[in-house]
Amino acid sequence: MNLEARQIGVISDTHGLLRPAALEALAGSELIIHAGDIGKPEVLTELGRIAPVVAVRGNNDRAQWAEPLPEKTVVSVGGVKIYLLHILPELTINPAEEGIRVVISGHSHKPLITYRQNVLYLNPGSAEPRRFKLPISVALLHLKGDEIEPQLLELPV
């Protein structure tokens, strides 16, 4: 059994802007997940310089470049199934019944780590732009065997 630790970077709601601090926070990730409202394709290109990127289309990603992006997708990392969508209330499956361990969403700009039926629900918050008094943030998922440790990282403004 491979118990090597793995780091997954999680970002959302960039709205076409990508802070250097976000890139620094995600450095060392073997995969980056973008939970939508990307804003422009250059954001995915920049993130792709760090690691492969899996992204979903957000409600503001309406330009032609975003059409190929799915609205929802599942990715497996080291046997951990991760469900990705932009707007959490649009979740139409029962993740626990589907063997999904992590649900990642964006949209609200509010960072969140919570558990329901032993499923981790993670919203990394918004990496750009600042909304109300909410923090600018990204998240990391640390995977080791069956263990999943989420970490929210508030970025300097």
**Domain count for the chain:** 1
pLDDT digits (tens, 9 = 90+) for 78-112: 889 999 999 999 999 999 999 999 999 999 999 99
pTM of the model: 0.95
Question: Which residues lie across from 149 on neighbouring strands?
Answer: 142
Q: How far is CA 18 from CA 45, 104, 130, 154, in A?
A: 11, 19, 12, 14
Summary mean pLDDT of the chain: 94
Host domain of residue 117: 6-154
CATH number, residue 130: 3.60.21.10
Taking a C-beta distance cutoff of 8 angstroms, is the pair 7, 33 a contact? no
pLDDT digits (tens, 9 = 90+) for 9-22: 999 999 999 999 99
- DSSP state string for 66-83: GTTS-SEEEEEETTEEEE
Residue 74, amino acid: V
